[in-house]
Structure 1
Amino acid sequence: MSNSGISNNKRIKDLSADCQRCFGLCCAALPYAKSADFAVDKAGGVPCPNLQQDFRCGIHRELRSKGFRGCAVYECFGAGQKVSQITYAGNDWREHPALAQEVFEVFPVMQQLHEMLCYLDEALGLEETLPIHKDLRKALEQTEALTCLNPRSILELDVPAHRAIVNSLLLQASERVRANASPGPHKNQKWRIKIPRGSDLIGVNLKGADLRGANLRGALLIAADLSDADLRAADLIGADFRDADISGADLTGSIFLTQAQVNSAKGDGETKLPPSLRIPDHWVKK
């Protein structure tokens, strides 16, 4: 399997958060509730108390210790800088308060579009998807065009309808990749199992499980033990990895796994990730 495809450095950069070019949109536009992920309640459209005048986070290096783990794992897929620098041409919501409400409404829509772009871009980089590259490229170009609309047009978009079109192509890509997953010998062959899509696997012991080519789309893997599991060629789109133990797990060749998912999990230096992702600083490294 190859991840070279048509991707280029510019596109990859544009699909990752660049907080230096963003006006703190995730810190102001989005709501959150006091929980294990957030230390306080915050309403949407209300700036976080930790957001500084320069739009930087005042406790960025201490987010986890201060109870803001949810902020530490959030990923906008580049939507923040797109809205700040392109949609609103560098006009920030503090200097232009009349724009604030609209900006805060546009941002989550843009985040969804950029997430779709991220998955489409990855699908185009897979050798197995060559037969559907034309359709994938068309969907990517259409999605990219939507991100360049004016604010009013963005707010009028039928995002669920567009997502359904994109998801159909991503499912085809997933099926092609997973069909090539090797069913050969595994160190824990007894653990080779099939898991229904969207399964509730909260806290389940899957240590050493053979999950090659598994469809784990939307699976609830919160606090699950996936240590030493084999997740090669598994579809992980939307899987909830919060506090899942992936120490020593092999996720090379897995598809649609994001850095945010990795950041929310527990792992170590023995965890094998796709080349586009990195081991988080907070993991215990052997």
Structure 2
Amino acid sequence: MPATTPDRTALRGDCASCFGLCCVALPFAASADFAVDKPAGKPCTNLQQDFGCGIHARLREKGFTGCTVYDCFGAGQKVSQVTFGGRDWRSEPALRQPMFEAFPVVRHLHELLSYLTEALALPQARPLHAELRTALEETERLTLGTPEELAALDLAAHREGVSALLLRTSELVRSAAGRKTRNHRGADLMGARLRGADLRGANLRGAYLIAADLGGADLRGADLIGADLRDANLAGADLTGSLFLTQPQLHAARGDAATKLPAGLTRPAHWTSAGR
């Protein structure tokens, strides 16, 4: 593989190498996910001087569940250590605005890198591997831009091109199953009763599955890119080989020891033995 192909470990957040960017740059509102309001650009009250979180081990019990389901896909350390060369916003206040503006751009790009890296590992997508690799290398190149270049980037246009390629990848992989699959792309399935449903190879891209009951459902090979799984019940569900499922999506859902996960993803610590 070319040197520009990112290691999957580089696409996971490394808080120890980041200047607490998600704790400062991003806003959040008091809700079931966050205990308080915080505007963009203001440090969270739990952010320590060493850029660590003072309640990291107790986020859920302190009302900050939203923090536990967030992942920057490695953008925090990229912006902190590469884009700004290890210079932090506390020591150099002039860096605050450009650093906080660069962070969400790089985060979006790193999310795309994660999907493209996964797509390149799919043998069924071999006919698209050349295009996928080109897209991956271009996306990685964009992440290495200067703060000025990142600010000027037409992120929406780049995302649109990559998303179209990922959709072609999904269709190719799912069609290899040789069976008609369900299309629930962008569907409103909030609270849906899908216990035990056969959703093998289904298109669930961007579907709203908030609080849906997917207990025991067969989701093998389903495309879950962008699906909202907040509070969805995945107890006993089979997610083996599902496409573009992320760790944050799993953290937002409920599952149990019987939930089968794709390779590379881990069972969230808050999942109970019964998925409740």
Q: Which TM-score band applies after superposition, normalised by the shorter structure?
A: over 0.9
Q: Return the offset for 1:193.
A: 7.5
For residues 222-233 of structure 1, what are the structure 2 equivalents within 5 Å?
Answer: 222-233=210-221
* Residue 133 of structure 2, aligned match among 132, 137, 158: 137
TM-superposition CA deviations, 1:149-201 (whole Å, max 9, x none): 10000010000100111011101110011112364xxxxxxxx9834310011
* Residue 119 of structure 2, aligned match among 120, 123, 146: 123
Distance 1:267 1:58 in 2: 28
Q: 1:6 to 1:258 in 2, by over 3 A?
A: farther
2:255 is the counterpart of 1:247: no
Does the Cα contact within 8 Å between 2:184 and 2:205 map onto a contact in 1? no
Unaligned segments of structure 2, at least 5 residues: none
Who is 1:29 aligned against? 25
Who is 1:16 aligned against? 12
TM-superposition CA deviations, 1:214-252 (whole Å, max 9, x none): 000000000000000000010000000000000000001
Over aligned residue pairs, what C-alpha RMSD do you find? 1.8
Who is 2:145 aligned against? 149
Tell me the SS of whatever aligns to 2:7: helix
Who is 2:267 aligned against? 279
Who is 2:105 aligned against? 109
Distance 1:12 1:272 in 2: 21
* Residue 91 of structure 1, aligned match among 61, 67, 87: 87
Q: Percent identity?
A: 60
Does the Cα contact within 8 Å between 2:213 and 2:233 map onto a contact in 1? yes
Does the Cα contact within 8 Å between 1:7 and 1:124 map onto a contact in 2? no
Who is 1:177 aligned against? 173
In the superposition, the TM-score normalised over structure 1's length comes to 0.92
Q: 1:95 to 1:147 in 2, by over 3 A?
A: same
Who is 2:37 aligned against? 41
2:156 is the counterpart of 1:160: yes
In the superposition, the TM-score normalised over structure 2's length comes to 0.96
* Residue 198 of structure 1, aligned match among 171, 186, 209: 186
TM-superposition CA deviations, 1:87-125 (whole Å, max 9, x none): 000001101111011101100000000000000000000
Q: 1:269 to 1:182 in 2, by over 3 A?
A: farther
Distance 1:142 1:65 in 2: 41
Q: Return the offset for 1:127.
A: 0.3
Distance 2:181 2:38 in 1: 41
Aligned residues: 274
Who is 2:206 aligned against? 218
Distance 2:202 2:3 in 1: 25
Does the Cα contact within 8 Å between 1:174 and 1:255 map onto a contact in 2? yes
Unaligned segments of structure 1, at least 5 residues: 184-191
Distance 1:65 1:243 in 2: 16
Does the Cα contact within 8 Å between 1:193 and 1:210 map onto a contact in 2? no
